[in-house]
Amino acid sequence: MKKYQQIKKDTIQSPTKLNKKKYSSTDRVMDNVPYPPTHLLTIKEIFGTSDKPNLPLLLQHLEAEGRLELDAALTIMIRGRELTAREPNMLEIGTPITIVGDIHGQFFDMLKMFEKGGDVSSNQYLFLGDYVDRGQFSVEVVLYLWAIKIAYPDTFFLLRGNHECRNLTVYFTFKDECLLKLGDVFYDECMKSFDCLPIAALVQGQLFCIHGCISPELRHLREITDLHRAVEPPTKGPLCDILWADPTDSYDNEKLEQKYEMYTHNGPRGCSYNVSYKAMCKFLDDNDLLCVIRAHQVQSAGCKMYKKHEKTLFPTLVTIFSAPNYCEVYKNRGAILRYDGSVMHVFQYKWVKHPYVLPNFLDAFRWSIPFVLEKVTDMLLAVLKYCSDENDSRLSKRTQIIEKIVHYYASLSDEAEQSLVFGNILPPTNVRTSDSSRVVNKGQIDFQTAQRMDYANEHIPYNQFRRK
């Protein structure tokens, strides 16, 4: 054994000498950041003696990161569900109207969107789905939108997106967020509410609005009324296509006279179809429509207008995406559409600051555990190496085991650091590509890079992997 070196006492500094500044255990270091409200809003406070919710009070409370009593949150979801359950599969709506794309739990960006679109009391709104997952404030988004639906049931409309289901909310973040903020009873009620959402809307008899895209199994709009929507979305069939389909990558370069498949398998999604320009033109002609409005795909400018119809000279397809700086890394703009019956206006907006939340809703202590364990095992390894004899096989084996543990905790620490930089676009480690790993190491990201890194998350999950 090697002899330990004697350490002089005067070389050891006490913690008080290393850090002279002391903090009170009750005072906040960042005293300019207000405390979230500790009071839980009650049913009586939200509704009073009326059937309509007090929207200004609810908004003020949610904006300050306040929470609701479980009964109050359930009441909002149940009353909203009762309204949407009575609506048909395809809504028929007049103009003027503001059409909104994906929100994805970005509550504070959604409030910015309402500033652009106008007050809900005097403006008609149609949302195309994907209210939850990926962002950190999905519960707030759902509660506020459902409350608006209760307040203005005839002018505020909500469609279902592909994320409004059990499969994706378990795979991504919404279920975890519900369990943290309100519990599993609230999550179950949200799933019931999502099942009751309409799946399509026809605006002024001209614009067909859905979340995903059209289906080869739906040739005429009237066939939508025959679909049974109050189910967990299947992985094939017309309901799946309405929620999951996309236009082809070559959509804008296709010509009607060319021979090609009108519907091809949607590989990146793992289900449904890619819809061609030819298929879209046929669908519009058969149903006497002007355009299809959809969401479902992030756009750098927030909106994309596709190739025009040869007869109407109007875009055959428009994609609208309303979550700016998607997943905290895309740096895209959000956008909404305003249609008055003859002219279509696009309003863009940038993201806003919001309260900081650690990935996967971890607290600072749990997030720090991998770093602490890495340093502790690293210290243990250093002690073993210092004390061990090269001829001592038992200590040598133990040292090798500790080295593996150190490497494991180091990888967990790296992932924790990466999650701060890249948000939740990183796919699960076991399906991460070499391309995403290189980008993580460089620490650089732009819109195209974010799309490549997020590619695995676009695929329909079969719950063999859990995003953690």
Find where tokens 């200004």 sit.
Answer: 56
Angle between helices 138-151 and 55-63 (to 10 degrees): 170
458 contact partners, CB below 8 Å, separation of at least 6: 268, 269
Which entry of 163, 211, 296, 309 is annotated as an active-site residue?
Answer: 163
Q: Give 46-91 as a 3 state SS string.
A: HHCCCCCCCHHHHHHHHHCCCCECHHHHHHHHHHHHHHHHCCCCEE
Instruction: Confirm whether 39 is a catalytic residue.
Output: no
Q: State how far the Cα of 156 lies from the Cα of 121, in Å rounded to an integer.
A: 9
User: How, if at all, do strands 334-339 and 344-349 pair?
Assistant: antiparallel
Angle between helices 138-151 and 107-117 (to 10 degrees): 40
Q: Kindly provide the b/e burial profile for residues 111-150, where b requires at least 16 CB atoms within 10 angstroms of the residue's own CB.
A: bbbbeebeebeebbbbbbbbbbbbbbbbbbbbbbbbbbbb
Q: Is residue 254 a contact partner of residue 261, using CB atoms and an 8 Å limit?
A: no
Q: Is the torsion defined by CA of 439, 441, 446, 447 positive or negative?
A: positive
Q: Kindly provide the b/e burial profile for residues 360-371, where b requires at least 16 CB atoms within 10 angstroms of the residue's own CB.
A: beeeeeeeeebe
Q: Which two tokens stand for residue 410?
A: 């180091």
Find where tokens 């069939």 sit.
Answer: 237
How many beta carbons lie within 10 A of that of residue 110, not counting itself?
Answer: 24
Amino acid (1-letter code) at residue 225 = T
Q: State how far the Cα of 467 lies from the Cα of 434, in Å rounded to an integer.
A: 18
Please list the active-site residues: 163
